[in-house]
Amino acid sequence: PNPITERERFRDEGYLVLEEFLDSKECDALRARMKEIVENMDVPAHCRIQFSTEHEEQLKAQGSADYFITSGDKIRFFFEKGVFDDKGEFIVPREQSLNKVGHALHAYEPLYKSVTHSPKVQVSSWVLNITPHQDATFLYTEPLGRVIGVWIALEDATLDNGCLWFIPGSHKSGITRRMVRTSKETYPLTDFIGREQNHDEKLFVPAPVKKGGLVLIHGEVVHRSAQNTSDHSRQVYTFHIMESQDTHWSPENWLQPTAELPFPSLYT
């Protein structure tokens, strides 16, 4: 692909699909390792919370749980709704119970770390010239526009199993809502400032991608994924890259670097 054309498209639309970023064997290796992690996960009873993007559910399930707020430098498990019975036992197979595993696979799992810091990712971020829901709602920087999402399909992401949808160009309108930490003594541990705008459903454009494809996501572009209504899973590996030079990472963000795991450089 032409780097200049791809850069212009990303700047105009706020996202970019790059097919064949990983080959099939690389995707299968990442999925196999995740299967091992899930098979061996030990989930304390108090951690059997559900991860959602609905406003009230976010406050109750994410922000109010110390398990979530302290997961930035750990590998922890976040579940879909309705996967436990009233005793906290699984009622679906473990591999079908998870919404996501986060948030430090890039630091502690060698396969995931190698992909995160791969030359291909480095070149992609350089070509797009990073320097000059919306992810900035959760990962706020000053100035805005310094965060890019990297979303890698480990299986085909289709209209039926929950591919991403975008409003092209919406990254040019700023953000209207932020998730911030509250006082350490205040319950819940996070809250939202502002409210999400109502978006015309007709403006959303699907971005299906084949296994191994990459989607680059501007931190301010409005995007979502629909419910998986198929009989197939939709596994992805996703992480974020921030331009650190002349950038202020908000201390109000839920995710904070720690002494155990400071934000690593992409080029290490």
pLDDT for the residue numbered 263: 94
Degrees, nearest 5: CA angle 212-216-218: 165
Give the pLDDT band of residue 116 (cuts 50, 70, 90): very high
Residue-wise pLDDT tens digits, 217-244? 999 999 999 889 899 899 999 999 998 8
Pairing of strands 223-225, 164-166: antiparallel
- Cβ-Cβ contacts under 8 Å for 187 (sequence gap 6 or more): 64
Q: Tell me the β-bridge partners of 76.
A: 102
Are residues 222 and 165 in contact, defined by beta-carbon separation less than 8 angstroms? Answer: no
Work out the average pLDDT over 9-14: 93
- Cβ-Cβ contacts under 8 Å for 158 (sequence gap 6 or more): 208, 230, 234
pLDDT for the residue numbered 62: 47
Counting every residue written for the chain, the total comes to 268
What distance in Å separates the CA atoms of residue 236 and residue 242, rounded to the nearest whole number? 20
61: tokens are: 């399930």
- Cβ-Cβ contacts under 8 Å for 194 (sequence gap 6 or more): 175, 176, 177, 178
3-state DSSP of 184-237: CCCCCCEEEEECCCCCCHHHCEEECECCCCEEEEECCCCEEECCCCCCCCCCEE
Crossing angle for the helix pair 3-13 and 119-128, nearest 10 degrees?
70
Are residues 153 and 236 in contact, defined by beta-carbon separation less than 8 angstroms? Answer: yes
Please, what is the average pLDDT of the chain? 87
Give the pLDDT band of residue 170 (cuts 50, 70, 90): very high
Give the pLDDT band of residue 35 (cuts 50, 70, 90): very high
User: Quick check: 60 pLDDT over 60?
Assistant: no
Q: Tell me the β-bridge partners of 16.
A: 216
